[in-house]
Structure 1
Amino acid sequence: MAALTINKVVSAARETFKTILSDKTVLMEHLQKLKICCNEIKASDLNITAGVTQELFSSSSRPADRKPPVSYMHLYEDEGVSMGVFFLRGGSRIPLHNHPNMYGLCKVLYGTINVQSFSPIVKDNNLDIPEFNEFQQQEGRPTTPRELLTPTKHYVTDNVTSDSDVCLLLPDVGNCHELKAVDGPAAFVDILAPPYAPDEGRDCMYYKLLTAKKGGDIKWLLEIPPPAEFWTDEIPYTGPEIK
């Protein structure tokens, strides 16, 4: 039964994201079917128990302050889609980042994850850049280059558990997000399509949410280097064979 569940998800994901190249008019219909499949998956289907995260981090030979805040378990990848599981230590987070021209689905396996996401706005050079609390202004001009700023609309902030519906992100909806483990460790299945590929313009960029002095509906994100406190290691998959 476990092998059937994970392979059903993989098969649905492959079929869904073929439509990116062939027929986008039916993509949303396929995405809804894929969401239904993903909602069925449980940690036990991947041979993952609620104690795996604790054992994973406590068994590391590295000092406590050098254990990764997040670990990754690779499940499947082809040219159209990638799948894996992220394990977060209690209180750890995957910093605010984007998925350029990509689709994504996240299904929590156990624990609680706070998701904060933003939808990018088409950049407009005529859009006034406000003053930010984080920076000093010089001669009435912002000190941050416009090309490092991304205007967005706040999409959602919510706590998500294994009982929650799959989180879905689109190229223009909820595409930038941060995920934080709440009240203990957590894990979630992550499906991305197409996979990250820097040479094809799909590089992962990290951001900081800025605070405009006068508020407003537009939320500005500042592109930053990968946060030094965030890194991952990879752990082996020991669940049913994925075909």
Structure 2
Amino acid sequence: MQMGFQQNGSGGKGNSDSKRNKRKQKRLSPIQKLYETCKEVFADCGPYIVPTPDKVEKLAVVLDGMTHGDVGLRPNMPIFSSERAPIITYLHIYECDKFSIGIFCLPPTSVIPLHNHPGMTVFGKLLFGTMHIKAYDWSNEVPRNKDLVPAYPVDAKISGAVRPDGMQLAKLKVNSEFTAPCRTSILYPADGGNMHCFTAKTACAVLDVLGPPYCDPDGRHCQYYYEYPFSEFPADIVGATEEEKESYAWLMERDKPEELSVVGLSYDGPKIAKK
């Protein structure tokens, strides 16, 4: 992305200020730069209010450049040991009402089940390891079937056809393995794979930025889902071939899975100077 800088006047003071600002930027640690970029990117955002494309790209570029060493992690740390699976560790770095920053540390074979991010724009950077990601978005298609009821809001801004048993149609967005280094993944309130599942093929660390963060009092709580193949409850999707129908699934909300074990530990990496 090309970025332009507005020139000050021809006086020496403007040039001097510009040089000082550049030196200051160079001295910022990667995590400090991430924090300050998040403050800028999410300043005018909120639930369902997505940052502008240029700001999304700006934050993605910062995350793309980060490594596990920038946050004080090493793949051989005990929290990543296979003996620790399926326990997942969450390192809380920062949170305000606009955004949160944290790291999920997954031992091999551990799983974060299918869950959502209501009203959020989410940036995920795989710092090391190999992970399988399966992600869905709610489908705008309304299948024709006598068992379906008229669409109603499942989320404040998302609606779709719902079966009497509560299952709703979703479309597969991602179903692939990712190995670091790779680009930052970005998901939006209604696009990009808002509902996803992580499976650690090796020890993994994922740096997560949520804008805004989960907030139970405001109704932004994490919801988990059962997943059923579309073929188990077939319906007619206008214009879709049988092969295309395989990319659809029925999702139904569930309680937090008992097998999911996430523990919080203090973040001991480079600190953020909050402003």
Tell me what 2:266 maps to: 236
Q: Select the structure with the greater relative contact order (CA < 8 A; seq sep ≥ 6).
A: 1
Tell me what 1:16 maps to: 41
Tell me what 1:90 maps to: 108
1:54-65 aligned at under 5 Å gives the runs 55-56=78-79
> Percent identity of the aligned residues?
27
1:89-108 aligned at under 5 Å gives the runs 89-108=107-126
1:1-243 aligned at under 5 Å gives the runs 4-21=29-46, 27-52=52-77, 55-56=78-79, 69-122=87-140, 128=145, 146=164, 148-173=166-191, 174-182=193-201, 184-213=202-231, 214=234, 216=245, 217-243=247-273
CA distance in 1, matches of 2:112, 2:38: 23
Q: Structure 1 residues 109 and 129 mapped into 2: Cα distance closer, same or farther (>3 Å)?
A: farther
Contact 2:147 2:164 in 1 (8 A): no
CA distance in 2, matches of 1:129, 1:210: 19
Deviations 1:25-70 (A, max 9, x none): 8622201110000011111111111112xx1266xxxxx68x6521
In the TM superposition, residue 127 of structure 1 has moved relative to its aligned partner by 5.5
Contact 2:80 2:203 in 1 (8 A): no
TM-score by length of 2: 0.72
One-letter code of the match for 2:198?
A: L
TM-score by length of 1: 0.81
The count of aligned residue pairs is 220
SS at the partner of 2:230? coil
One-letter code of the match for 1:218?
A: Y
In the TM superposition, residue 123 of structure 1 has moved relative to its aligned partner by 8.6
Tell me what 2:16 maps to: none
CA distance in 1, matches of 2:50, 2:113: 32
SS at the partner of 1:15? helix
Cα RMSD of the aligned pairs, angstroms, is 2.7
One-letter code of the match for 2:67?
A: K
SS at the partner of 1:156? strand
One-letter code of the match for 2:134?
A: Q
Q: Structure 1 residues 127 and 191 mapped into 2: Cα distance closer, same or farther (>3 Å)?
A: farther
One-letter code of the match for 1:89?
A: P
Q: Structure 1 residues 5 and 127 mapped into 2: Cα distance closer, same or farther (>3 Å)?
A: farther
- Uncovered stretches (5+) of structure 1, i.e. residues with no partner: 59-63, 132-143
One-letter code of the match for 1:225?
A: D
Tell me what 2:9 maps to: none
One-letter code of the match for 2:177?
A: N
- Uncovered stretches (5+) of structure 2, i.e. residues with no partner: 1-25, 149-161, 235-241
